[in-house]
């Protein structure tokens, strides 16, 4: 839904602002709806959250969105400028674009063909479904969304169970089976679909071999993942030794002391870029991936229209 052209001469925040403006005017984001949080959108696009904030601030200046303290940015009921002003600004944009196309050596017929082709793309480009992955911690939602985007070829919005109320317009909400009953009241208009996720089998196999006197370290991106992941690791491996855990979002200074105290380290995919260079060569360390079970993927393909 939102793509960044890193080879473009246009700054990333300008590209993001343009795309969000189009999605708002096109009705994908409706008045009163919250835009994705700066941090979540930054993670999805692999850009700085300062860049997202800059784009959101521009939208606020133009009247497309408004900052809501502690909640993020809310889409406004935008009132466009007078038609004469819009036509003048549009003519300026078209004039500049035509000069660039002619500068490429295109003939008039080529330009007409490109314009008609792109207009037809806009006509069929709609977003009939909003799909949300909501889990006990944000990295669960992010990893599931990342996996499903490529499998279903659809945009997926990650969130947590606690934040699900902000997505009251969702059409499909994907949650762990044990959370289905919990979220029924948070998304009364959505189709709630339970899915099964699995922790990386190689990582679990290594933890199951740890002795009780050994210490396991767990590094996550965000603090809300520590409790659920630690509980799942103990339940699935019966490891009864000491577990130490930190989130890199709380500061890199906490990671080095943890590494010195542990016999083995597991790290989530979102945390890996921040700790990769800090891992001692002799320390056993393994990625702790979260993946959707194949049976659940097939179930989603049956429930969510193409």
Q: What is the DSSP letter of 123?
A: H
Per-residue pLDDT tens digits for 73-104? 888 887 766 777 778 878 887 888 888 888 88
What's the sign of the alpha-carbon dihedral 17, 12, 41, 131? Answer: positive
And the tokens for 202?
């190689």
Q: What is the DSSP letter of 27?
A: T
Report whether 277 contacts 271 (CB < 8 A): no
CA distance linking residue 38 with residue 76, whole number of Å: 17
What's the sign of the alpha-carbon dihedral 83, 85, 86, 91? Answer: positive
- pLDDT for the residue numbered 153: 78
- pLDDT for the residue numbered 241: 96
Domain boundaries in the chain? 12-75, 83-124, 131-198+295-303, 201-288
Element at 21 (helix H, strand E): helix 12-25
And the tokens for 142?
């992010």
Q: Which of 227, 277, 231 is nearest to 247 (CA)?
A: 227
What is the DSSP track for 142-207?
A: HHHHHHHHHHH-S-EEEEETTTGGGGTT-SEEEEEGGGHHHHTTTSTTSEEEEE-EEE-HHHHHHH
Confidence (pTM): 0.60
pLDDT > 90: what percent of the chain?
A: 41
- pLDDT for the residue numbered 180: 92
- pLDDT for the residue numbered 54: 92
- pLDDT for the residue numbered 128: 58
Q: Give the right CATH number for 201-288 from 3.20.20.140, 3.30.360.10, 3.40.50.1860, 3.40.190.10.
A: 3.40.50.1860
Q: Can 12-75 and 201-288 be said to share one CATH topology?
A: no
Q: What fold characterizes domain 131-198+295-303?
A: Rossmann fold (3.40.50)
Average pLDDT per 10 consecutive residues for the chain, totaling 306 residues: 79 90 80 83 85 92 85 80 76 84 84 76 59 94 90 86 86 92 82 94 96 96 95 96 93 86 94 85 92 91 75
**93: buried, middle or exposed (CB in 10 Å: 19+, 13-18, 0-12)?**
exposed
Report whether 239 contacts 233 (CB < 8 A): yes
Q: What is the DSSP letter of 34?
A: B
Start-to-end Cα distance in the chain: 15
In this structure, the strands spanning 72-75 and 65-68 are antiparallel
Q: What fold characterizes domain 12-75?
A: Arc Repressor Mutant, subunit A (1.10.10)
CA distance linking residue 245 with residue 232, whole number of Å: 14
């Amino acid at each position: 839904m939102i793509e960044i052209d890193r080879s473009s001469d246009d700054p990333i925040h300008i590209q993001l602002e343009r795309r969000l403006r189009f999605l708002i005017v096109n009705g994908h984001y409706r008045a009163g709806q919250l835009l994705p949080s700066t941090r979540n959108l930054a993670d999805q696009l692999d850009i700085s959250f300062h860049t997202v904030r800059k784009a959101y601030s521009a939208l606020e200046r133009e009247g497309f969105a408004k900052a809501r303290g502690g909640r993020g940015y809310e889409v406004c009921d935008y009132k466009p400028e007078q038609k004469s002003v819009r036509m003048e600004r549009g003519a300026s944009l078209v004039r500049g674009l035509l000069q660039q196309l002619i500068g490429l050596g295109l003939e008039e017929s080529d330009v007409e063909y490109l314009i008609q082709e792109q207009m037809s793309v806009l006509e069929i480009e709609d977003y009939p479904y909003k799909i949300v992955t909501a889990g006990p911690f944000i990295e669960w939602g992010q990893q599931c969304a990342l996996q499903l985007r490529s499998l279903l070829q659809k945009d997926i919005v990650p969130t947590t169970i606690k934040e699900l109320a902000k997505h009251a317009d969702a059409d499909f909400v994907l949650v762990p089976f044990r959370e289905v009953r919990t979220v029924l009241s948070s998304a009364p208009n959505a189709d709630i679909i339970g899915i099964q996720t699995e922790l990386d089998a190689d990582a679990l196999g290594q933890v199951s071999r740890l002795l009780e006197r050994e210490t396991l370290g767990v590094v996550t991106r965000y603090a809300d993942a520590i409790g659920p992941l630690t509980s799942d690791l103990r339940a699935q491996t019966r490891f009864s030794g000491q577990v130490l855990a930190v989130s890199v979002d709380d500061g890199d200074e906490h990671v080095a002391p943890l590494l010195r105290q542990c016999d083995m380290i597991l790290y989530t995919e979102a945390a890996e870029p921040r700790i990769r260079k800090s891992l001692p060569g002799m320390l056993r360390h393994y990625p702790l991936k979260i993946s959707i079970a194949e049976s659940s993927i097939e179930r989603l393909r049956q429930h969510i229209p193409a």
